[in-house]
Amino acid sequence: MNPIELLGKYQWSFKTLSNVFGVSELEARRWAFRKEAKTRRNPSATAQILAVVISKHPEVISTIKDFCQEF
């Protein structure tokens, strides 16, 4: 699953997506580019696996946010 699919599912912004996945907002936006775009980036395998876990278990989001707030 591409993490971009979570944008629509949870009405997230690119900022939220980048915070959850630990990447820059620019990198998260590059995931959404068309396949023909020169600057398009595919999400890492880890990001794709995490997107599947978040999709199946939404409670993971609160755990990630709590963890991020500790730092």
Dihedral sign for Cα atoms in the order 15, 52, 4, 48: positive
Residue 3 DSSP class: T
Whether residue 12 contacts residue 6, with contact meaning beta carbons closer than 8 Å, is answered with yes
Domain ranges of the chain: 5-69
Q: Tell which residue, 17, 26, 11, 13, has the closest CA to residue 50.
A: 17
pTM as predicted:
0.74
Angle, vertex CA 44, rays to CA 41 and CA 46, nearest 5: 160
Q: How far apart are CA 56 and CA 44, in angstroms?
A: 19
**How much is the pLDDT for 42?**
84
- Residues (pLDDT < 70) of the chain are 39, 70-71
**How much is the pLDDT for 35?**
73
